[in-house]
Amino acid sequence: MAYLGNYNSPTDLMNDQTLSRDEKINMLQQWRDDKKALLRAANEGMQGGDPSDVLRKIKKALRCLQTDSND
């Protein structure tokens, strides 16, 4: 979880100029998968914060990176 503790939001990760596009995609995908797991756990009655807002931001950032590669 390379993003953990280093970025408060997907926007922070996107703005990190020290990361390559591929590194950003990999980290965002990992973050997305972690948030999806939290949503599944919440749906099963486990406690935790609402990860859906962060998940939307992660998906938006991934779309942006993937669109950039198609230009």
- 35-61 tens-digit pLDDT: 888 888 776 665 555 667 788 888 899
Q: At what angle do helices 52-69 and 21-43 cross, to 10 degrees?
A: 150
Confidence at residue 48, expressed as pLDDT on a 0 to 100 scale: 56
Rounded distance between C-alpha atoms, residue 59 and residue 24, angstroms: 12
> Which residues are within 8 A (CB) of 24 and not within 5 positions of it... i.e. 6 or more apart?
13, 14, 16, 61, 65
Confidence at residue 30, expressed as pLDDT on a 0 to 100 scale: 93
- Structure pTM? 0.71
Most distant CA atoms of the chain, gap in Å = 43
Return the percentage of the chain with pLDDT > 90, whole number: 44
Mean of the per-residue pLDDT values for the chain?
83
Rounded distance between C-alpha atoms, residue 65 and residue 49, angstroms: 27
